[in-house]
Amino acid sequence: MAESKTEQIKELSRYLRGTIAETLHSDASHFGEEEIQLLKFHGTYQQDDRDTRGELRKAGLDKAWSFMVRTKIPGGHLAAADYLKLDQIATDLSNQTIRITTRQNFQYHLVLKGGLRECIARITQSGITTVGACGDIVRNVMASPSPLHTPAHGDAQKLADELTQALFPQTRAYAEIWLNGGKLYPPPAAENEPLYGQHYLPRKFKIGVIVPPRNDVDIYTHDIGYVAHAPNGQVEGYTILVGGGFGMTHGKLKTYPVLAKPLFYVAREHAVAAGVAIVTVQRDYGNREDRSRARMKYLIEERGLAWFRQEVEARLPAPTEPPKPLQLTTVADMLGWHEQGDGKLFCGVFVPQGRIQDTGAGRYRSAFREIARQLGCPIRLTPNCNILFCNFRPDQRQTMDQMLKQYGVPSDEGMTEARKTSHACVALPTCGLALAESERVFGPVMDEIDQILRALQLEKEPILIRMAGCPNGCSRPYNADISFVGRAPGKYALFVGGSMTGDRLVGLEKKVVELKDIPAVVKTYLEEFVARREDGEIFSAYWGRTHQPGLRPEPEQFHFELAERSARLAATSQDGPLE
C-alpha cells in the first residue's frame, strides 16, 4: 500500500514549513487542508464556531474561522510569573478563558487568524512553547503533579523535562514562522531532524511518569508509561509500560482502546535512552499507510509484545529486567490542603472541566490571577484538569482560603467524590470532531447525578464518571467506571466497567442513550450497586466481581450493543437483592 496523504504532506513540507508563512501573512480567511496538517506540529488547530455554521451558510457567508492554540508544559509545572503572562494572553487574544487539558497543558480557544502569530510568539516569550503540543510527534510529557517533597516525586518531574529535551524536534521552521528566526529552547541544531526524519512519527505519541501508588497521570493510557521504583526513597529505576491509547471510531472494529502493557524495567540512568529506543521503533515500524491504525498500540497488537521488546532492546545499550510489581490506588488528584513534606503546604483546587473562567457562580480566572500575583506560588496542572498551588507557608493558608472564598471558588469539601474525579472534553462548539455536546452539558448532568448519589448515600463513594463528545477519547472515557461517548447530537454510547485505578477497560452497555436520560440510566447502575455490593466494596471492585469479563475486552464490545442482561435486578427487599 502507498503511504497516506498526510505522510506525503509531511515529506514535502520542508520540515513543517509548507506554505504556512505565506498564508499567515495573506488576506486569506483560513488555511488550506495541507497547511492544517502542518499547523498541528506548531501547536495549533484550525477550527470554526459550529454554533454559527447554519446561520452563516444561509447568509452565504464564510465560516467563523478561529484557532485553538495549545501549550507544551512538561509535568504541568509553572512559575507564578509565567502563569500571569499566559493569563494576559487569554485577555488580549483569546475568548477570556484558559482551558486546562488532560495532558497538563493550557489551551486557548477562539484565537483569530490575525492574532495567531502574536499568540504563539507571546507564549514562547513567556518561557513556554507550543512545539509538539499537537501533531505526529511526542506530545507533552506528563508527570505526577503532586508537589510532595520526596526524591521520587522530584525525579518524576525531572524525567519529564529530560524526555522532553531528548525528544524535541530540531526543525527551524517554528522560529522562522512564529518568532522571526528568534532563539527557541532547546535551540534547533541540525535541519535534518536526526530523531524524527522528514516524516516525523506515524501518529501522535504520548508519555507519562507516575509515582505509585497514585495513578494521577492515568499511566495505562500512554504510548509509554514510566512507573517509578523507589523502595528506599531514592528512585532506582522505572518499570516501563507501552502501547496504551484510547482513540477509536464508532463502528470500525479495527479501531479500539488499549491499555498499556509492562515491557521491562530499566535503571534510572537508562530511562531516557529507553524512551528514545521505543520512539524509534514506532518511527520505523508504525503504520504509515492507514492513519486509523498508526498508533503504537496497533503495532504491538499486530507484532506482539515479545517482538516489540526485542526490537527495543536491540536499540538500547543498557540491560533490562522484568517489570516490577505494580499496585495502584486511585487516579484522583490531591485536592484541598496537604503538607508537602518540606514544612510547606499545597492546595489542590477543583476546576469544572478545566475551564478557568469568570462566571456568576465562580470567578476562577480572577481568583487564580490574584493568587499568582499576591502569593507568588508555583503552579502544577493536573491530568484531571485541576490546579495545584504550591509552596505555601502555613501562615499563608488563611489568606489563600479567603481569596478563594472572595471570588466564589467552592471548596472540594462539599463535593461528592464522583464530582471530584469527573471530567468532560471540550467538544462543541469549537472541536471539529465532536459528534455531541460534552463540556457544556456535563455540569448540569453531574448536578443531577450528585442528587442521586446523595439520595443513595453514595456521596463519599469513589466513582469515576467521564464524558466525551466523540470516540477519540480525549477525556479518557474507556477506563472510567461509567462514561458517555457522543454518537450524534444529543445521543451517547454508554460504557461501564473501568476502574478508579485506571487499569481496566470498559465494555459497551448501551449503544444509544439520550442526553436527557443519562441521570436516570446512571441511577439504575447505582441502585444495583447499592443492592449487590459487599461490605466496603467500591463500585470498581463490585463491577469487577460481578460483571467484568476480563482486562482486555474484544473490539466488538466497544462497537456493538451488548445483549440485555438476563438477570438485571428489578427490585430490592429489606433482606437483600431479589435475584
CATH number of the CATH domain containing 345: 3.90.480.10
Give me the domain span that covers residue 387.
336-414
CATH number of the CATH domain containing 553: 3.30.413.10
The predicted pLDDT at position 388 comes to 98
The predicted pLDDT at position 547 comes to 86
Which of the residues 134, 347, 377, 431 is marked catalytic? Answer: 431
The predicted pLDDT at position 252 comes to 86
- Is the same domain home to 480 and 401? no
The mean per-residue pLDDT over the stretch 126-143 comes to 96
365: pLDDT strictly greater than 70: yes
- Is the same domain home to 408 and 433? no
* Contact predicate 540/500, CB 8 Å: yes
> Domain for residue 270, yes or no?
yes
> Domain for residue 480, yes or no?
yes
Q: How far apart are CA 154 and CA 143, in angstroms?
A: 10
- Is the same domain home to 79 and 103? yes
User: pLDDT higher for 41 or 565?
Assistant: 41
Among the listed residues 46, 16, 51, the one whose alpha carbon sits nearest the alpha carbon of residue 29: 46
Which of the residues 474, 476, 487, 504 is marked catalytic? Answer: 474
The predicted pLDDT at position 192 comes to 87
> Domain for residue 326, yes or no?
no
Which of the residues 172, 470, 504, 533 is marked catalytic? Answer: 470
- Is the same domain home to 158 and 266? yes
The predicted pLDDT at position 249 comes to 85
Instruction: State whether the Cα torsion 559-560-563-565 is positive or negative.
Output: positive
Written as one string, the DSSP assignment of 126-175 is TT-B-TTSSSSSB-PPEE------SHHHHHHHHHHHHHHHHT----SHHH
Known catalytic membership, residue 204: yes
> Domain for residue 447, yes or no?
yes
- Is the same domain home to 16 and 114? yes
What is the 8-class DSSP label of residue 14? Answer: T
- Is the same domain home to 345 and 370? yes
Known catalytic membership, residue 425: yes
Domain termination site, one of 414, 435, 455: 414
- Is the same domain home to 362 and 486? no
Domain termination site, one of 282, 315, 348: 315
Predicted confidence (pLDDT) per residue in 71-119, tens digit: 999 999 999 999 999 999 999 999 999 999 999 999 999 999 999 999 9
Q: How far apart are CA 140 and CA 133, in angstroms?
A: 6
What is the chain's mean pLDDT, rounded? Answer: 93
Q: How far apart are CA 131 and CA 40, in angstroms?
A: 9
Known catalytic membership, residue 324: no
- Is the same domain home to 431 and 409? no
Most confident range (mean pLDDT) of 35-39, 186-190, 571-575 is 35-39
The mean per-residue pLDDT over the stretch 414-425 comes to 97
Written as one string, the DSSP assignment of 318-376 is S--BPPPP----B-----EEEE-SSS-EEEEE--GGGEE-B-SS-BHHHHHHHHHHHH-
Among the listed residues 130, 136, 66, the one whose alpha carbon sits nearest the alpha carbon of residue 432: 66
The predicted pLDDT at position 79 comes to 98
Known catalytic membership, residue 390: no
Instruction: State whether the Cα torsion 511-517-519-522 is positive or negative.
Output: negative
Cis peptide preceding 429, ω within 30 of 0: yes
Question: Model-level pTM?
Answer: 0.94
Q: Parallel, antiparallel, or unpaired: how do β-strands 572-573 and 98-100 relate?
A: unpaired
Q: Parallel, antiparallel, or unpaired: how do β-strands 465-468 and 423-424 relate?
A: parallel
Known catalytic membership, residue 139: yes
The predicted pLDDT at position 253 comes to 87
The predicted pLDDT at position 181 comes to 61
Known catalytic membership, residue 385: no
Known catalytic membership, residue 119: no
The predicted pLDDT at position 579 comes to 27
Q: What cell does 55 get?
A: 446561520
Q: How far apart are CA 16 and CA 35, in angstroms?
A: 9
Q: Mapping DSSP to helix (H, G, I), strand (E, B) and coil, where does residue 327 land?
A: coil
357: pLDDT strictly greater than 60: yes
Q: How far apart are CA 326 and CA 403, in angstroms?
A: 40
Which of the residues 10, 40, 70, 297 is marked catalytic? Answer: 70
> Domain for residue 419, yes or no?
no
> Domain for residue 345, yes or no?
yes
Domains: count for the chain: 3
Q: How far apart are CA 87 and CA 356, in angstroms?
A: 10
Q: How confident is the model at residue 321 (pLDDT cuts 50, 70, 90)?
A: very high
> Domain for residue 320, yes or no?
no
* Contact predicate 485/435, CB 8 Å: no
Region of 408 (left: φ > 0; alpha: ψ -120 to 50; beta: rest) is left
- Using the structure block, give the residue that is written with the C-alpha cell 462539599: 414
- Is the same domain home to 302 and 382? no
* Contact predicate 244/263, CB 8 Å: no
The predicted pLDDT at position 250 comes to 79
Radius of gyration of the chain (CA): 23
Which of the residues 122, 139, 214, 504 is marked catalytic? Answer: 139
558: pLDDT strictly greater than 80: no
Q: What cell does 43 get?
A: 501547536
- Is the same domain home to 154 and 119? yes
Which of the residues 72, 99, 206, 369 is marked catalytic? Answer: 206
Which of the residues 122, 204, 419, 533 is marked catalytic? Answer: 204
The mean per-residue pLDDT over the stretch 315-339 comes to 97
- Is the same domain home to 378 and 404? yes
> Domain for residue 323, yes or no?
no
Known catalytic membership, residue 70: yes
Domain termination site, one of 372, 392, 414: 414
* Contact predicate 254/145, CB 8 Å: no
The mean per-residue pLDDT over the stretch 499-520 comes to 96
574: pLDDT strictly greater than 70: no
- Is the same domain home to 408 and 505? no
**Residue by residue, what is the 3-state secondary structure of 531-542?**
HHCCCCCCHHHH
Q: How far apart are CA 420 and CA 120, in angstroms?
A: 32
The predicted pLDDT at position 76 comes to 98
Interacting residues of 77 by C-beta distance below 8 A, sequence separation 6+: 145, 157, 378, 379, 380, 381
Q: How far apart are CA 315 and CA 280, in angstroms?
A: 9
Percent of the chain with pLDDT over 90: 90
> What is the amino acid identity at position 113?
K
Predicted confidence (pLDDT) per residue in 168-195, tens digit: 999 999 999 999 865 554 554 557 899 9
Please give the helix or strand (H or E) that residue 58 lies within, else none: helix 53-58
The mean per-residue pLDDT over the stretch 442-450 comes to 98
Region of 225 (left: φ > 0; alpha: ψ -120 to 50; beta: rest) is beta
